[in-house]
Amino acid sequence: MSVEATTETYEELVAQGCVLADFWGPQCAPCLKLMPAVEQLEAGSGGALRLVKVNAADNRRLCLSQRVLGLPTFILYRNGEEVSRLTGKPTAAEIEAAVQRLVEGGA
């Protein structure tokens, strides 16, 4: 089950395991379109992936600190270290491939 992050909770939420941080906005059509597919990635991971969602409209300082300049942005972490980032308008297949690499130990 995905977790909503704030500026105060973000670092703790991405600190352990494989994490997909989804920076989205309520007015971002591509974000909303991808949301069901992204949530399914977590559900189908058998616990190997944690989905952390960040509402950019409510967490502008966090977006700035993470260098998120456009939506949607997906940041993939392994044990607190950023291993890759997808920005612009990635497809669900591109996100799935990046998550698979993350979970399997690649970048």
| Local confidence pLDDT in tens for the 107 residues of the chain | 789 999 999 999 999 999 999 999 999 999 999 999 999 999 999 999 999 999 999 999 999 999 999 999 999 999 999 999 999 899 999 999 999 999 998 76
SS3 at position 65: helix
Catalytic residue among 14, 31, 71, 75: 31
- pLDDT value, residue 1: 79
Separation of alpha carbons 1 and 57, rounded Å: 22
Q: What dotted CATH number matches 3-104? A: 3.40.30.10
Of 66, 71, 70, 83, nearest to 19 by C-alpha is 83
To the query of whether residue 28 is one of the catalytic residues in this protein, the response is yes
Choose among 1, 6, 3: nearest CA to 56: 6
Per the annotation, the verdict on 63 as an active-site residue is: no
Among candidate residues 4, 10, 3, the one with its CA nearest the CA of residue 64: 10
Q: Which of 2, 10, 28, 87 is catalytic?
A: 28
